[in-house]
Amino acid sequence: MGLGINGESDRVVNSYDERNRMAMRAAEEIREGMIVNLGIGIPSLVPNHLPKQLQVMFHAENGILGIGESPEKGMEDPTLCNAGGFPVTIVSGASYFDSATAFGMIRSGYLDITILGGLEVSQKGDLANWIVPGKRVPGIGGAMELAKKAKRVIVLMNHCNKKGESKIVKECTLPLTAKQCVDLIITEMGVLKVNERGLLLTEVMAPYQIQDVISKTNAPLQISDSIKVIDG
């Protein structure tokens, strides 16, 4: 049984489990030898779901190449954090540098993937992820460079906002980070590819069903002929 249009379901998916399932699915996009940048929030969980033998260097704008798994509680190093200020570990071969060098890596196109959070993504792959009007933030930071200079952009986000409104839309209403930059969207409901025709639904996360994703998406969807159901 899946989640129906009325929002009822025969089982409840814990929000923590949903976040980790999304991070686990994003980890499947990472290949040996890649350099990957992670945004704050759900993307920061991705290193916890990589196979131990996979050699990947995670990049942070504050000047680290080689971020590892999240530290166990009580084992945090107060001098070691990611760009969002959250404690991290490092892997063998990691290096430190200043922010200018970190952004030089981004702008020079060395990042194979950036995995970011999102406030809105349009059917064309436009991304809004840095400000909600009326909220105070320091600025756009590195979001613009990451969105335009990484070889591939993956967005991990909840399918709907706190009001129950779709975050996948025909046109973004929030201030844009970058236009036509998103390649893949992963939410707690499914996986959508951005192509020249718009959005292609390729995977559905159980207990949701195809119709649930369609009803909760404020943009036209193409449905893959070989759609996959992710269960677990």
Question: Are 63 and 97 in contact, with CB atoms under 8 Å apart?
Answer: yes
- In terms of Cα–Cα distance, which of 67, 15, 18, 17 is closest to 39? 67
What is the torsion angle, in degrees rounded to the nearest 10, for the CA atoms of residue 99, residue 103, residue 105 and residue 108? -150
CA distances from 5 to 12, 64, 99, 213 (A): 15, 44, 47, 9
* CB neighbour list of residue 160: distance below 8 Å, 6 or more residues apart: 166, 167, 216
Is 165 marked active-site? no
Question: Are 211 and 227 in contact, with CB atoms under 8 Å apart?
Answer: no
**Sheet strands side by side (includes 127-128):** 127-128, 120-122, 168-169
Question: Among all chains, which residue has been given the structure tokens 């379901």?
Answer: 9
Rounded to whole angstroms, how far apart are CA atoms 102 and 11? 44
> Which position among 18, 32, 61, 171 bears the catalytic label?
61
Is 69 buried (19+), middle (13-18) or exposed (0-12) by CB count in 10 A? middle
Provide the 3-class DSSP secondary structure of residue 229. strand
What are the structure tokens assigned to 179, written together?
């236009």
- In terms of Cα–Cα distance, which of 164, 159, 168, 161 is closest to 208? 159
The catalytic residue positions are: 61
